[in-house]
Amino acid sequence: MRFLADENVEAPVIRALRELGHEVLEVGGLKPGAEDDEVASLARERGCILVTNDKDFGQLVFLQGKRVPGALLLRLPGMSGAEKAPIVRAAVQETGLSFARHFVVVEPGRVRSRPLRVK
């Protein structure tokens, strides 16, 4: 899979995805300081699943209709990147979830997935 890591995604999380064999592009290297709608557009243009810690992407995608190939929202407050990495690794590797055309939310103790509308 191809992922696009938002600027707020910690290095250990990015490293964990890469260790699983996924390509991970970083917003900070492509378009530093990009606004959320620009990040969503970048994910769409590059064909990447967006990875973020920013809850605002739920509103952007579901209420404002911004299209992304898929999203992985990390709702793991108070955790360091090192603590998040194994949780993200398990969510990606072990759950068998499809990230394409889905909005996946990783929370302490659970993973939720909701299909995205395709226009």
Give the pLDDT confidence of 11-22 residue by residue, as tens digits: 999 999 999 999
Higher-confidence residue: 98 or 73? 73
* Domains of the chain, first to last: 2-115 (3.40.50)
**0.75 cut: is pTM over it?**
yes
pLDDT value of residue 96: 61
pLDDT at 118 over 90: no
Q: Which of 59, 89, 93, 95 is nearest to 74 (CA)?
A: 89
* CA separation for the pair 87, 13 (Å, rounded): 9
